[in-house]
Amino acid sequence: MTAKLIKGTEIREEILNEIEAEVKQIKEKHGAVPGLVTILVGENPASISYVTLKIKTAHRLGFNEVQDSQPADLPEADLLALIDKYNKDDSIHGILVQLPLPKHVDEKKVLNAIDPDKDVDGFHPVNVGRLMIGGDEVKFPPCTPAGIQEMIVRAGVETKGAEVVVVGRSNIVGKPIANMMLQKGPGANSTVTVVHTGTKDLEGHCKRADILIVAAGVPGLVKPEWIKPGACVIDVGVNRVGEKISEKTGKKIAILKGDVDFDEAKEIAGSITPVPGGVGPMTITMLMKNTLKSLKFKLGIA
């Protein structure tokens, strides 16, 4: 059997088209567009390329995109003052502080300074609490887990009553996606198990999974024989395992591998995400969706 491919690149296009259409409608009816500011401190090359992609996506969607680049030696107090300025700016609905921050800055203090109602990344403790409560309380689900859930739903995979096993318990992927899948409601209502380095029988748990979500950051951790035939496999892992020359650009690019051995796993799973081109493209997409949502909350139309 060859699994159905769940392609993040295709789902991203579907969602971005939906957002674009909604932005146009809201602009016509309410004269407002979503405003997103990205604060970048310093010149980390990985951050710059990620931010560039965010800007490009926001422009395509007709957002008011503000790029605020600051020097690496920006004092923490000045960064906090900047966040305060955007917290009070009515044209801004989403504030994003690009991580990692320089060492002299307390990351937690900075993220907690963002108004929870503009925290489109969903990392503020208030939004983590809202996610835990679930239902109407949720304002901004964190972007990567939201992307994972969206992929499962759009692939037509039944979640109600499904055994979901999540490998990894990080605050940005494992814990939030586990929490989202156990909520009572559409696209969830699953029975969830979270496994980690303290788990005794990793293989046994994975073998039970109707939906296996792997976010460990260990290339090839999940063996093909651990996959239940017909299961939906979401591979969140992005691991650099070498370099190659791009056929398109002739430049050196990273060879990326997931946490699941894709070539063998696709012969067993019912559906599976590739790496790259799977979960990866979903994160920025869901950030845009959260920013649009923030404007809708403000307009009272969410």
Total binding residues toward ligand NAP, as defined by CB under 6 A: 25
Instruction: Tell me the C-alpha distance between 242 and 265, whole Å.
Output: 21
Among 47, 218, 223, 264, binds ligand NAP (CB under 6 A): 218
Residue 158 has phi, psi (to 5 degrees) of -70, 125
Cα separation, 179 vs 48, in Å, equals: 31
Active-site residue 252, yes or no? no
Segment interacting with ligand NAP (CB under 6 A) among 41-49, 63-71, 88-96, 194-202? 194-202
Helix, strand, or coil here: 41? strand
Nearest to ligand NAP of 26, 36 (CB atom) = 36
Q: Is residue 136 annotated as part of the catalytic site, yes or no? A: no
Binder among 215, 260, 268, 295 for ligand NAP (CB under 6 A) = 215
| Out of 174, 176, 270, 274, the residue judged to bind ligand NAP by CB under 6 A | 174
Site of tokens 């290339």 = 219
Dist. CA 58–CA 52, nearest whole Å: 10
Provide the phi-psi class of 212: left if phi over 0, else alpha when psi is between -120 and 50, else beta: beta
Stretch that binds ligand NAP, among 51-59, 82-90, 125-133, 190-198 (CB under 6 A): 190-198
**Which is catalytic among the residues 117, 119, 121, 259?**
121
The reply on whether position 169 binds ligand NAP by CB under 6 A is: yes
What is the C-alpha R_g of the chain? 20
Q: Does 16 bind ligand NAP (CB under 6 A)?
A: no
Q: Is 73 a known active-site residue?
A: no
**Using CB under 6 A, which of 180, 216, 268, 292 touches ligand NAP?**
216
Q: Where are the beta strands (DSSP E) in the chain?
A: 4-5, 35-41, 64-70, 94-97, 163-167, 191-195, 211-214, 232-235, 239-245, 252-257, 271-272
Measure the N-to-C terminal CA separation of the chain; round to a whole number of Å.
42
**Contact call for residue 274 and ligand NAP (CB under 6 A):** no
> Which is nearer to ligand NAP, 107 or 158 (by Cβ)?
107
The residues assigned a catalytic role are 54, 98, 121
| Binding footprint of ligand NAP on the chain (CB under 6 A) | 144, 167-170, 172-174, 195-198, 202, 215-218, 221, 236-239, 279-280, 283
